[in-house]
Amino acid sequence: MSALRELYQEVILDHNKSPRNFRRMEKPDRKVEGYNPLCGDHYTIFLKLENDIIKDICFEGAGCAISKASASVMSSLVKGKTKAEAEMLFNSFHRLVTGESDGVEEIEKLGKLAAFSGVSEFPARVKCASLAWHTLHAALASNEHRVSTE
């Protein structure tokens, strides 16, 4: 295993073991449930918005290590960002896990998100890794209550 792979593995293990922003929110502006029936990952994402800014974000639920670590990394990255910035991160993440990133430089710019680059080799896990992002995307667009990867 390369040093980079090991580092990526560590980020995922760490965020799975101690997920950031893993809690409920009272009176959220948006509350959307995301479900990945293939794996059974199931999370609810809570958002507090102020104009175009994500003032607060947290999530609760359960699922595999990749889905939980991804929700944790996602929540810590988008907090304090504008909706547009969050959508840009979502696009970069989507390109990363589907193997469409433009080489190592683009991946390195993604920081902790790059930990999920290995997922592109395992198509079944792409849905695990992207679940939280799709749920965030839905929550930013509207107050739909439930999204599914299917």
Chain residues in the site for Zn ion (CB under 5 A): 39, 41, 64, 67, 128
Choose between 62 and 141: whose C-beta lies nearer to Zn ion.
62
**H and E: helices and strands count for the chain:** 5, 4
Taking the complex as a whole, how short is the minimal distance between the CB of residue 137 and Zn ion, in angstroms?
18
Of 66 and 107, CB closest to Zn ion:
66
CB of 69 to Zn ion, least distance (A): 10
The maximal CA–CA distance of the chain, rounded, in angstroms, is 45
The CB-of-140 to Zn ion minimum distance in angstroms stands at 22
Residue 22: C-alpha distances to residues 45, 62, 72, 102, 105 (Å): 10, 10, 7, 32, 31
Helix (H, G, I), strand (E, B) or coil at 43: strand
Which CB, 4 or 64, lies closer to Zn ion?
Answer: 64
Angstrom distance (rounded) from CA 106 to CA 114: 9
Tokens of 22: 């893993």
* Distance in Å, CB of 98 to Zn ion, minimum: 16
Residue closer to Zn ion (CB basis): 25 or 74: 74
